[in-house]
């Protein structure tokens, strides 16, 4: 019975980590509907994502949670890829220079992925 409770607890924690949201794990029930209490424990699970703050025809400002290789992809709203390039970037606030980017007018989708994380945002190019 103890092994079953441990397995259910591990599954609950993995589900929280993969969901990428903040949750408090206080109680979880096993298939026999017996509550498993975690006394005096709080588990917070969250996946940090790159935060994109500003897009101009020449730069993209982002805040990165960890250093690593990141790919920046800019797509039109109908899915046509307008720009793709990979950068080696340190953690923190960064201004990425978009070399040879032919910026359209209007809204675009910006995807930043790498170092095991991914973020996609709709953005309007500021001139």
Residues 89-116: pLDDT tens digits? Answer: 999 999 999 988 887 778 899 999 988 8
Instruction: Quickly tell me which residue has 């006394």 as its tokens.
Output: 39
From 4-8, 31-35, 44-48, 89-93, the region with the lowest mean pLDDT: 31-35
Q: Are residues 56 and 106 in the same domain?
A: yes
From 39-53, 61-75, 83-97, the region with the lowest mean pLDDT: 39-53
pTM over 0.85: no
- Number of domains comprising the chain: 2
Could you count the other beta carbons within 10 Å of the beta carbon of residue 105? 9
From 1-10, 70-79, 117-126, the region with the lowest mean pLDDT: 1-10
Q: Are residues 93 and 57 in the same domain?
A: yes
CB 53 within 8 Å of CB 64: no
Domain span at residue 27 reads 2-37
């Amino acid at each position: 019975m103890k092994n079953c409770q441990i397995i259910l607890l591990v599954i609950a924690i993995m589900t929280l980590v993969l969901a990428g949201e903040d949750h408090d794990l206080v109680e979880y029930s096993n298939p026999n509907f017996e509550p498993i209490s975690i006394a005096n424990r709080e588990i917070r699970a969250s996946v940090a994502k790159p935060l994109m703050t500003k897009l101009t025809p020449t730069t993209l400002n982002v805040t990165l949670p960890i250093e690593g290789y990141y790919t920046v992809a800019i797509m039109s709203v109908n899915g046509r890829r307008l720009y793709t390039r990979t950068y080696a970037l340190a953690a923190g606030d960064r201004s990425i220079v978009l070399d040879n980017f032919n910026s359209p007018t209007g809204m675009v989708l910006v995807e930043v992925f790498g170092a095991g994380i991914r973020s996609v945002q709709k953005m309007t190019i500021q001139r």
